[in-house]
Amino acid sequence: MADSAAEARIDQALVVRARLGDDPRAFEQLVRRHQGMVRAQLRHMLHGDHAAADDLAQESFLLAWRKLDQFRGDARFSTWLYRIAYTCFLQACRKKSLPLDRDDDTTKLLPAPAHALDLQVDMERAMRRLSGPEQTVLLHCVQLGLSHEEAAYVLTMPLGTVKTHATRGKAKLKAWLAAWHDVDEEQTP
Amino acid sequence: MNQSQDEAIEALLREQFEGPVFDDGFSDRVVQQLPPRRHRAVWPLWAGVLAGAGASWLGLLSAPLLHAGWQEWISGKPSASAIILVSAIAGMSLLACWWTTMEAEDH
């Protein structure tokens, strides 16, 4: 928590330097500090399409540079960047008619892993069976480590909706991976 | 779902996440693409303020309201025109105070 606050203060100082001094080197440091997570966020949302994710990440950072005056410091700089990246992702989906969300009914038709060989593989398959909003909320809340409030800000969703998607997503994963839990219990003396 | 199952699912999700992407020259490519930032020009704001003030002054110069209100206020007669004049000044002052406070908070 203290580390997170210190990181936020460093980001804030770099933003002030970049904004007031028009200092591209300060912004370069911000890019270096956050590119890894923003690219990971976009790669995850684009289901591993690295080239498209990097294009969107570049677009997001250029947009952040142009809109730096609009960063008020209400949210952490990283959260603000995630929001810009998510907005770019949504715009790209609309332009290219990419599948933004998957219907629950169709995902239920996907075959469940009958003979699971590996928990990690099963986990990946289970994640893909979740609805789009559930995947997105779990990505932001659990994997990127945002609070529910921050995820609501990034995804422009009501807080209650974020919490609902997180709870439902985890409950579905638990149900689909229940066989692993049973195996663990059988193996435990 | 109990707490331990919740934590187990979260732990699996974190394990599945590959983490931050290695900077393979991405930052350099972004920095090379950065355009010079455009600053918002201040002169249109001040030109607008001056033009508005000038137009208001010219408009009110020929109207008796301003003169009559001022005269009646000085002579201590709170007539309708004097009250309108004072209310307008007070309203504009409050708006200016509110705007200044909001701008100060933002910076």
pLDDT in tens, B18-46: 889 999 899 999 999 888 776 667 788 88
Tell me, what's the pLDDT at B42? 78
Q: CB-based contact (8 Å) between A116 and chain B? A: no
Do B10 and A170 lie within an 8 Å CB cutoff? yes
Question: Which of B2, B14, B30 to mutate to probe the A interface, most A CBs <10 Å?
Answer: B30
Q: CB-based contact (8 Å) between A39 and chain B? A: yes
Tell me, what's the pLDDT at A102? 45
Q: What are A126's two structure tokens?
A: 């289970």
Which member of B5, B13, B27 has the closest CB to residue A31?
Answer: B27
**For domain A1-100, which architecture applies?**
Orthogonal Bundle (1.10)
Tell me, what's the pLDDT at A106? 41
pLDDT tens figures, B48-95: 989 998 888 887 777 777 777 777 777 877 777 778 878 888 898 899
Residue A114 has pLDDT above 70, yes or no: no
A-chain residues within 8 Å CB-CB of B1? Answer: 167, 170-171, 174
pLDDT tens figures, A151-182: 999 999 999 999 999 999 888 888 887 766 65
Region A20-49: mean pLDDT is 89
- For chain A, the structural domain boundaries read 1-100, 101-189
Nearest CA in chain A to B7: A170
Nearest CA in chain B to A143: B14
Do A171 and B27 lie within an 8 Å CB cutoff? no
Give the Å distances, CA to CA, from A27 to A14, A41, A62, A74, B75. 7, 20, 10, 19, 62
Class in CATH terms, A101-189: mainly alpha
Instruction: State chain A's mean pLDDT as an integer.
Output: 82
Q: Is A90 exposed, middle or buried (0-12, 13-18, 19+ CB in 10 A)?
A: middle
A60 vs A114 pLDDT, higher one: A60
